[in-house]
């Protein structure tokens, strides 16, 4: 998912996407341990996706905090 697509979502939708991605990463780790998959790129792409989601979420929070502080 691209950053521009993530930015168009609401905070709640991003949080739900983070939870879903973390579950997916856990499933990939279980499959890796069971020997069902040996594709390290899959695990890495999910980790990057989680990092991208969390980064944009932090950007949203800092932007909101910055602008709320100016109004006070």
Range among 16-25, 29-38, 53-62 with highest mean pLDDT value? 16-25
Question: Can you give the residue ranges of every domain in the chain?
Answer: 3-71
Question: What CATH topology corresponds to 3-71?
Answer: Helix Hairpins (1.10.287)
Residue 47 confidence (pLDDT): 97
Looking from the CA of 4 toward its CB, the CA atoms found within 13 Å total 0
Q: Write down the pTM of the prediction.
A: 0.82
For 3-55, where are the E strands, in sequence order? none
Average pLDDT over residues 33-54: 93
| CB atoms inside a 10 Å sphere around CB 10 | 9
Distance CA 49, CA 6 (A): 10
Residue 39 confidence (pLDDT): 87
Q: Please provide the distance, in angstroms rounded to a whole number, between the alpha carbons at the two ends of the chain.
A: 36
Q: How confident is the model at residue 69 (pLDDT cuts 50, 70, 90)?
A: low
């Amino acid at each position: 998912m691209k950053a521009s697509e993530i930015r168009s979502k609401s905070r709640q939708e991003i949080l739900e996407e983070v939870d879903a991605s973390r579950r997916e990463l856990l499933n990939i780790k279980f499959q890796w341990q069971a020997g069902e998959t040996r594709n390290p790129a899959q695990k890495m792409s999910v980790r990057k996706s989680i990092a991208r989601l969390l980064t944009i979420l932090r950007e949203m929070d800092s932007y909101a905090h910055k602008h709320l502080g100016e109004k006070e």
